[in-house]
């Protein structure tokens, strides 16, 4: 049987391929998790008293007037360092559960790991408003860390699903669709959190809405997500045989920890993903704050305009996944390694460069948003390069390797966000210029490492003794 055109709805006796259904569910899982993750990034501008400014002409855009509205739930008198701590506390838990989550997904399958992660995330989000009001910022920090702990296994589990269900020649397309759910979650979470708060006059309501929608996903998850093709009760025999033919079957092997952790191409991938996360986490976490404190948008418009760059990112990631799949598989333009190196580093440098330029247009709202959009369009190349590169390096340990990689690179969420909190205490544009110059520097260093030492070949540690590297 030849390669099936995954874009055709009529495949396998007129049925949509169930690997495509699975990829859509992975997309929705990531979307829901990012809804639960970014709700605080937008809501916090209504939860916290704004910092006092000694000189408004130096600290913000004086031509835009804003009113400090107190919503249901009240406002907390948190200084910027405390506000930053509540935001980046997510990463304290996030980095701890990556490796265990990836290991569980690789060894036992991702169905229950993913389902429980989404359920726990919904539960923590639903109780966040009540306990934060009762207990203060340390309770908020604890709950955000628990949310990170719940979400840590999700990306490694998605990586494990991709290596188990998706043939290598479809990974640029289907992997891009699956990982693109992070962008859809950021979009919907940003836009509708602002709308929900404005409509209900309560920042608490946004947490309740997103946690309820995540519970709807969990019900669908039970019917449509299964760990392996062989355990899917509805998978047609023809598609099962097709997947057996084109996917290297995972083996129950002892994890070669030393070989993995000493592998140079793997560390090059970690460097590239650290650069991506540093840029991405800064924008996801603090773009609403920048829109509020510098560009002076009120909450509903803040959510909308904070989401516009991520709408561009999501749309471009889907489009580029399709065109990138053609380029890589045709082999007429560049090798898979050249493609990954060029566009993976281009995604980091381009996004960091345009974000830096956006700060230098000052109070020009249109130019600032336009530059963020341009940067996020370029950032879309990330989803078809760096994440799928791990599946090229290993067929057997993708979940574990992605867990280690994302856990290490998630440290950027702690360092980067703590640095932003320390540098932007006075709402001054000059402070934000320093933030985005640091972003650009991180992008340059990590891109150089990825270009010099990355690989697209399956690594020696991934082969069993009876196998031989081809």
Q: Give the model confidence (pLDDT) of 79-89 as tens digits.
A: 888 888 999 89
150 CB-contact burial (10 Å; exposed 0-12 / middle 13-18 / buried 19+): buried
Q: Does 10 have pLDDT greater than 50? A: no
Q: Quick one: pLDDT at residue 322?
A: 72
Q: How far is CA 233 from CA 24, 98, 104, 201, in A?
A: 18, 29, 22, 46
What's the Cα-to-Cα distance from 449 to each of 351, 438, 446, rounded to whole Å?
Answer: 18, 17, 5
pLDDT digits (tens, 9 = 90+) for 308-333: 998 998 888 778 777 766 766 665 66
**Residue matched to tokens 């934000």:** 432
**The predicted structure's pLDDT at residue 57:** 44
Which residues fall within 8 angstroms of residue 96, CB to CB, at 6 or more apart? 148, 149, 152, 407
In this prediction, residue 63 carries a pLDDT of 62
Reported as a pLDDT band with limits 50, 70 and 90, residue 72 is low
CB atoms closer than 10 angstroms to residue 467? 11
Q: What are phi and psi of 11, to 5 degrees?
A: -140, 145
The region of weakest confidence among 6-15, 85-94, 101-110, 177-186 is: 6-15
- Can you tell me the mean pLDDT for 147-170? 86
Quote the pLDDT of residue 139: 95
Q: Among residues 85, 88, 141, 152, which one has the least CA distance to residue 118? A: 152
Nearest to 91 by CA among 422, 399, 411: 411
Higher pLDDT, 419 or 292: 419
- Percentage of the chain with pLDDT > 90? 34
User: Which tokens sit at 24?
Assistant: 């859509």
Q: Within 10 Å of residue 63's Cβ, how many Cβ atoms?
A: 7
Cα separation, 140 vs 76, whole angstroms: 11
Asked whether the predicted pLDDT for residue 71 surpasses 60, the reply is: no
Mean pLDDT value across residues 34-44: 92
Residue 274 is encoded by which pair of tokens? 């650290």
Read off φ and ψ for residue 86, nearest 5 degrees: -60, -40
Q: Secondary structure of the chain: what % helix, strand, coil (to 5)? A: 75, 0, 25
CB atoms near residue 387 (< 10 Å): 26
318 vs 424 pLDDT, higher one: 424
Predicted pLDDT of residue 2: 46
C-beta of residue 9 within 8 angstroms of C-beta of residue 16: yes
Q: Is the pLDDT of residue 58 over 60?
A: no
Q: Is the dihedral of CA 162, 167, 168, 171 positive or negative?
A: negative
Q: Is the pLDDT of residue 348 over 80?
A: yes
pLDDT at 54: 44
Q: Which of 22, 254, 259, 21 is nearest to 157 (CA)?
A: 22
- Structure-block tokens of residue 166: 């998706």
Beta carbons of 49 and 78 less than 8 angstroms apart: yes
> What superfamily in CATH does domain 18-50+78-236+257-460 come from?
MFS general substrate transporter like domains (1.20.1250.20)
* Mean per-residue pLDDT of the chain: 84
pLDDT of the residue at 264: 94
4-13, 140-149, 262-271: which range is least confident on average? 4-13
Q: Is 76 helix (H, G, I), strand (E, B) or coil?
A: strand
Please tell me the predicted confidence (pLDDT) of residue 124.
97
- Residue 70 pLDDT level (bands cut at 50, 70, 90): low
- pLDDT for 346: 92
| CA–CA distance, 62 with 64 (Å, rounded to integer) | 5
Contact between residue 194 and residue 300 where contact means Cβ atoms under 8 Å apart: yes
pLDDT at site 276: 92
> If we measure between CA atoms, which residue out of 183, 158, 184 comes closest to residue 171?
158
The whole-number pLDDT of residue 442 equals 95
Which residue's structure tokens are 């980095």?
95
Give the domain ranges of the chain.
18-50+78-236+257-460
pLDDT per residue as tens digits for the range 120-155: 999 999 999 999 999 999 999 999 999 999 998 898
């Amino acid at each position: 049987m030849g390669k099936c055109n995954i874009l055709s709805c009529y495949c396998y006796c007129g049925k949509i391929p169930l690997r495509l259904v699975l990829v859509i569910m992975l997309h929705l899982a990531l979307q829901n998790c990012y809804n639960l993750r970014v709700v605080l990034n937008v809501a916090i501008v209504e939860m916290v008293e704004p910092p006092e400014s000694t000189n408004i002409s130096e600290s913000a855009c004086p031509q835009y007037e804003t009113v400090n509205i107190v919503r249901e739930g009240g406002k907390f008198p948190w200084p910027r360092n405390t506000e930053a701590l509540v935001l980046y506390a997510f990463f304290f838990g996030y980095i701890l559960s990556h490796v265990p989550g990836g290991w569980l997904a690789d060894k036992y399958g991702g169905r229950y790991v993913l389902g429980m992660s989404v359920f726990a995330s919904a539960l923590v989000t639903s109780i966040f408003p009540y306990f934060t009001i009762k207990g203060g910022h340390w309770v908020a920090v604890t709950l955000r860390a628990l949310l990170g702990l719940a979400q840590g296994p999700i990306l490694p589990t998605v990586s494990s699903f991709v290596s188990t269900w998706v043939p290598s020649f479809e990974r640029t397309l289907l992997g891009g669709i699956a990982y693109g759910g992070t962008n859809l979650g950021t979009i919907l979470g940003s836009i509708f959190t602002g709308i929900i708060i404005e409509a209900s006059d309560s920042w608490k309501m946004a947490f309740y809405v997103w946690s309820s929608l995540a519970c709807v996903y969990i019900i669908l998850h039970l019917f449509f997500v299964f760990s392996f093709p062989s355990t899917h009760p509805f998978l047609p025999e023809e598609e099962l045989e097709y997947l057996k033919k084109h996917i290297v079957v995972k083996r129950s092997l002892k994890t070669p920890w030393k070989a993995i952790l000493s592998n140079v191409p793997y560390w090059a991938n970690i460097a590239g993903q650290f650069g991506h996360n540093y840029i991405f986490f800064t924008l996801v976490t603090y773009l609403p704050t920048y829109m509020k404190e510098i560009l002076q948008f009120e909450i509903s418009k803040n959510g909308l305009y904070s989401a516009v760059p991520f709408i561009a990112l999501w749309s471009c990631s889907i489009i580029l996944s399709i065109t990138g799949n053609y380029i890589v598989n045709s082999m007429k333009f560049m090798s898979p390694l050249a493609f990954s190196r060029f566009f993976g580093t281009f995604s980091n440098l381009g996004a960091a460069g345009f974000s830096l330029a956006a700060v230098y247009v000052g109070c020009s709202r249109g130019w600032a948003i336009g530059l963020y959009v341009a940067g996020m369009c370029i950032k879309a190349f990330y989803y078809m390069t760096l994440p799928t590169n791990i599946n090229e390096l290993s067929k057997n340990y993708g979940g574990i390797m992605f867990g280690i990689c994302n856990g290490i690179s998630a440290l950027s969420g702690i360092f980067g966000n703590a640095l932003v909190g320390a540098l932007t205490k006075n709402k001054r544009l000059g402070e934000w210029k320093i933030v985005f110059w640091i972003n650009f520097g991180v992008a340059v260093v990590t891109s150089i490492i990825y270009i010099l030492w990355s690989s697209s070949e399956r690594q020696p540690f991934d082969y069993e003794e009876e196998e031989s590297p081809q």
